[in-house]
Amino acid sequence: MSVILFYLSGTIEDMLENKHIYKLLILFTFKIFIVTCQDIAVDSWAVEILHPDNSSYGSTCQTVGFKVGILISTSLFISLNSLEFCNTYIFKTPQEVPLLPLKTFIEIWSYV
Protein backbone atom coordinates (compact mmCIF):
# COMPACT_ATOMS: atom_id res chain seq x y z
CA MET A 1 0.00 0.00 0.00
CA SER A 2 2.85 2.36 0.82
CA VAL A 3 4.47 1.73 -2.56
CA ILE A 4 1.23 2.59 -4.38
CA LEU A 5 0.77 5.78 -2.34
CA PHE A 6 4.39 6.81 -2.83
CA TYR A 7 4.04 6.28 -6.59
CA LEU A 8 0.79 8.26 -6.63
CA SER A 9 2.32 11.13 -4.68
CA GLY A 10 4.64 11.83 -7.58
CA THR A 11 2.24 11.14 -10.44
CA ILE A 12 -1.36 11.76 -9.39
CA GLU A 13 -1.48 15.42 -10.43
CA ASP A 14 -0.20 14.58 -13.92
CA MET A 15 -2.62 11.66 -14.20
CA LEU A 16 -5.54 13.88 -13.21
CA GLU A 17 -4.51 16.65 -15.62
CA ASN A 18 -4.00 14.20 -18.50
CA LYS A 19 -7.19 12.28 -17.61
CA HIS A 20 -5.55 8.87 -17.15
CA ILE A 21 -8.69 7.60 -15.45
CA TYR A 22 -8.16 3.91 -16.18
CA LYS A 23 -4.67 3.94 -14.69
CA LEU A 24 -6.01 5.66 -11.55
CA LEU A 25 -8.89 3.20 -11.43
CA ILE A 26 -6.53 0.23 -11.49
CA LEU A 27 -4.19 1.72 -8.87
CA PHE A 28 -7.00 2.66 -6.49
CA THR A 29 -8.78 -0.68 -6.96
CA PHE A 30 -5.56 -2.52 -6.07
CA LYS A 31 -5.04 -0.20 -3.09
CA ILE A 32 -8.57 -0.86 -1.81
CA PHE A 33 -7.99 -4.61 -2.20
CA ILE A 34 -4.84 -4.32 -0.05
CA VAL A 35 -6.68 -2.23 2.56
CA THR A 36 -9.49 -4.79 2.68
CA CYS A 37 -7.03 -7.65 3.22
CA GLN A 38 -5.32 -5.64 5.96
CA ASP A 39 -8.67 -4.97 7.65
CA ILE A 40 -9.57 -8.67 7.62
CA ALA A 41 -6.16 -9.58 9.04
CA VAL A 42 -6.40 -7.00 11.84
CA ASP A 43 -9.94 -8.11 12.75
CA SER A 44 -8.93 -11.77 12.96
CA TRP A 45 -5.77 -10.89 14.89
CA ALA A 46 -7.85 -8.94 17.43
CA VAL A 47 -10.24 -11.87 17.82
CA GLU A 48 -7.37 -14.30 18.44
CA ILE A 49 -5.26 -12.14 20.74
CA LEU A 50 -7.97 -10.68 22.99
CA HIS A 51 -9.64 -12.54 25.79
CA PRO A 52 -13.39 -12.92 25.12
CA ASP A 53 -14.14 -10.57 28.04
CA ASN A 54 -12.07 -7.83 26.37
CA SER A 55 -13.28 -8.26 22.81
CA SER A 56 -15.58 -5.25 23.12
CA TYR A 57 -12.53 -3.06 23.83
CA GLY A 58 -10.88 -4.21 20.62
CA SER A 59 -13.98 -3.38 18.64
CA THR A 60 -14.18 0.04 20.31
CA CYS A 61 -10.54 0.80 19.54
CA GLN A 62 -10.99 -0.18 15.90
CA THR A 63 -14.11 1.98 15.58
CA VAL A 64 -12.46 5.01 17.18
CA GLY A 65 -9.41 4.57 14.97
CA PHE A 66 -11.65 4.34 11.91
CA LYS A 67 -13.47 7.56 12.82
CA VAL A 68 -10.22 9.44 13.53
CA GLY A 69 -8.85 8.24 10.20
CA ILE A 70 -11.93 9.55 8.40
CA LEU A 71 -11.59 12.91 10.14
CA ILE A 72 -7.92 13.25 9.20
CA SER A 73 -8.29 11.99 5.67
CA THR A 74 -11.30 14.09 4.73
CA SER A 75 -12.15 17.12 6.84
CA LEU A 76 -8.63 18.05 7.82
CA PHE A 77 -7.24 17.48 4.33
CA ILE A 78 -10.01 19.47 2.63
CA SER A 79 -9.43 22.39 5.00
CA LEU A 80 -5.64 22.41 4.71
CA ASN A 81 -5.82 21.91 0.93
CA SER A 82 -8.11 24.93 0.49
CA LEU A 83 -6.10 28.02 -0.38
CA GLU A 84 -8.98 30.24 0.76
CA PHE A 85 -9.16 28.53 4.18
CA CYS A 86 -5.37 28.67 4.66
CA ASN A 87 -5.13 32.34 3.68
CA THR A 88 -8.03 33.24 5.97
CA TYR A 89 -7.22 31.23 9.08
CA ILE A 90 -3.61 30.03 8.97
CA PHE A 91 -1.28 32.27 6.96
CA LYS A 92 -0.58 35.83 8.11
CA THR A 93 0.26 36.90 4.57
CA PRO A 94 -1.64 35.44 1.61
CA GLN A 95 0.11 32.52 -0.10
CA GLU A 96 -0.34 30.95 -3.52
CA VAL A 97 0.01 27.33 -2.36
CA PRO A 98 -2.17 25.71 0.34
CA LEU A 99 -0.61 24.33 3.50
CA LEU A 100 -1.20 20.72 2.43
CA PRO A 101 -1.20 20.08 -1.33
CA LEU A 102 -2.47 16.74 -2.65
CA LYS A 103 1.06 15.51 -3.47
CA THR A 104 2.29 16.16 0.07
CA PHE A 105 -0.81 14.61 1.65
CA ILE A 106 -0.41 11.36 -0.29
CA GLU A 107 3.33 11.28 0.37
CA ILE A 108 2.79 11.65 4.13
CA TRP A 109 0.32 8.74 4.12
CA SER A 110 2.75 6.61 2.13
CA TYR A 111 5.16 6.75 5.09
CA VAL A 112 2.50 6.24 7.75
Structural domain range at position 41? 2-111
Among candidate residues 77, 78, 104, the one with its CA nearest the CA of residue 6: 104
- Digit-coded pLDDT (tens) for 65-74: 889 988 888 8
Query: What mean pLDDT do residues 22-36 have?
Result: 94
Q: State how far the Cα of 73 lies from the Cα of 65, in Å rounded to an integer.
A: 12
- Digit-coded pLDDT (tens) for 81-104: 999 999 999 999 999 999 999 999
> What total number of domains does the chain contain?
1
The pLDDT confidence band at residue 19, using thresholds 50, 70 and 90, is very high
The pLDDT confidence band at residue 39, using thresholds 50, 70 and 90, is confident
Q: What's the pTM?
A: 0.74
